[in-house]
Amino acid sequence: MPATLIAPRTTPDSPDAVSPVSVGELSIVERMVALYASDMPNRYRFGKGDDAQLGSWIVQGVARLGLEEVYRSAAYAQSYRLLSLANLTTADQTRAHSARFTNLRRLDRAESVAGISSIGPDSVPVSASAVARSRRPMVEGGCPCGGTGWMELQVLDGEALSRSCPAHNPTGNLVNRRVAVTG
Ligand SMILES: [Zn+2]
């Protein structure tokens, strides 16, 4: 049986996607968002030699969402994850996260696949600027720290006990002005 030649579909889905994106210029979380928005099947499992396929899904997802939206969604997802790991998410934040990513199982899958894109022999490392960008704290749904970087736990003998906000102050290096005001 003769092979049928099918021209690969290389045009992006969105007509306004004009600038090509390089996978290396995207952080892992940004790649996750792009994969989430792509044609990647929900139950996709990475196989040897799939690197080019991963790359084209990532480019496709970026074309669909637009680069700015990929950046924004990734920053929200990253901050939500940090808050979630510390059990500090609010109902508002969880609502916003679930509205943004309606299929959380798909998001999990996209995250593990995005991680694969940065390891292994055919991996695409993340550029330093992408890492820096993905660490911007952006919380959707309001943050209990009010953007100060510090959450008040309780006040004992006039002294406020607070903890650093995992999203707005992940390193705990921000000056705690909240204590200065309360104490
Ligand atoms: Zn915060």
Cβ–Cβ under 8 Å, residues 12 and 4:
no
pLDDT at 8 over 70: no
Query: Distance from the CA of 117 to the center of ligand 1, in angstroms?
Result: 30
Q: What b/e readout covers 84-120, taking b as 16+ CB neighbours within 10 angstroms?
A: eeeebbeeebeebbeebbeeeebbebbbebbebbbee
In angstroms and rounded to an integer, the radius of gyration of the C-alpha atoms of the chain is 20
Query: Distance from the CA of 166 to the center of ligand 1, in angstroms?
Result: 7
Query: Distance from the CA of 20 to the center of ligand 1, in angstroms?
Result: 34
Position 101 scores a pLDDT of 97
Query: Distance from the CA of 131 to the center of ligand 1, in angstroms?
Result: 20
Query: Distance from the CA of 162 to the center of ligand 1, in angstroms?
Result: 12
CB atoms within 10 A of CB 42: 9
41-55, 58-72, 73-87, 168-182: range with lowest mean pLDDT: 168-182
Query: Distance from the CA of 142 to the center of ligand 1, in angstroms?
Result: 8
How far apart (Å, rounded) are the C-alpha atoms in residues 25 and 79? 20
104-137 tens-digit pLDDT: 999 999 999 999 887 766 778 889 999 888 788 8
Mean residue pLDDT of the chain comes to 84
Query: Distance from the CA of 73 to the center of ligand 1, in angstroms?
Result: 17
Query: Distance from the CA of 15 to the center of ligand 1, in angstroms?
Result: 37
- pLDDT band of 178, cuts 50, 70, 90: low
Query: Distance from the CA of 77 to the center of ligand 1, in angstroms?
Result: 14
Domain map of the chain by residue range? Answer: 23-134, 150-182
Position 91 scores a pLDDT of 95
**pTM for the structure as a whole:** 0.79
Query: Distance from the CA of 96 to the center of ligand 1, in angstroms?
Result: 15
Query: Distance from the CA of 139 to the center of ligand 1, in angstroms?
Result: 7
Position 19 scores a pLDDT of 55
Cβ–Cβ under 8 Å, residues 143 and 84:
no
- pLDDT band of 179, cuts 50, 70, 90: low
Among 4-8, 31-35, 152-156, 168-172, the range with the most confident prediction by mean pLDDT is 31-35
